Amino acid sequence: MFYDMLNEHYDPTQRDIKDILSEVFVLKQMLLKKDENFTDKFSYTFRCLQEDINRFLKDICEFYFGTLEKGVKEKLKNSEFDIFLQSNNISFKIDTMENVDEYFKSKETLDRWFELGILSLYNSVLPYRGRKSSSSIDSNYEYDVPKEPLKDNRVIFSIGKQGIVGNRNAYNLIEAMYNKVGTYDDMHKPSRKKRGYRTEKLP
């Protein structure tokens, strides 16, 4: 049964690995008799989170829920990022860039953080284009969120068992990812500019 469903929905000559992963999880939802609307949203959200441009949000989902599949399900329950955090008891401590920078530079602090289960430290800049798209000079797929303060474009944060700690730019960026990935209707619409980020229809 699973073989027939996969053959019906998956053409190996036209899809890449992200599509394969998405289809496998979609077929699982179909076998569990989820409604079609939920399955479509699940597929689209899962696919978006596989994109490198959204890797910060993907890592958060995988760290706090164990698997991306569980993270996507929790995301679909909450339309807003702050509600998503609150409903899953995930803290996001926002501090000034000076305090965050100093916090992560201290060797004693870093040692203590890794003992507490820090998965990774993240350091980037705004506008954020991701690691892959930044190599393309004609790529305009990016998150151009407001900088706070205006002259500081740095993004720095960490995720761990005690929650997320970062500057305001980090929160704004991840929230923009959350909003973009949650906009299922964009899959059927041409490119357009939205608050906090610029998007293009996924291939």
What is the per-residue pLDDT across 177-195, written as a single tens digit (0 to 9) for each?
999 986 655 444 433 344 4
Token pair recorded at residue 85: 């955090």
- Report pLDDT for 81: 96
How far apart CA 48 and CA 32 sit, in angstroms, is: 22
- Report pLDDT for 197: 39
- Report pLDDT for 149: 86
- Report pLDDT for 141: 64
What's the whole-model pTM score? Answer: 0.73
Other C-beta atoms lying within 10 Å of the C-beta of residue 114: 13
Long-range contacts of 65-72 (CB under 8 A, 24+ apart): 69/25, 69/28, 72/42, 72/45, 72/46
How far apart CA 137 and CA 158 sit, in angstroms, is: 29
Q: In the chain, what is the greatest distance between 2 CA atoms, to the nearest angstrom?
A: 57
Residue ranges per structural domain of the chain: 34-198
**Per the omega criterion (within 30 degrees of 0), is the bond before 127 cis?**
yes
| Contact by Cβ (8 Å): 199, 141 | yes
- Report pLDDT for 74: 95
| Contact by Cβ (8 Å): 91, 163 | yes
Spans of the chain, pLDDT less than 70: 1-35, 107, 110, 112, 116, 132-141, 182-203
- Report pLDDT for 130: 77
Q: What are phi and psi of 12, to 5 degrees?
A: -65, -15
Token pair recorded at residue 69: 């599949």
- Report pLDDT for 184: 56
Q: What is the DSSP letter of 144?
A: -
How far apart CA 20 and CA 25 sit, in angstroms, is: 9
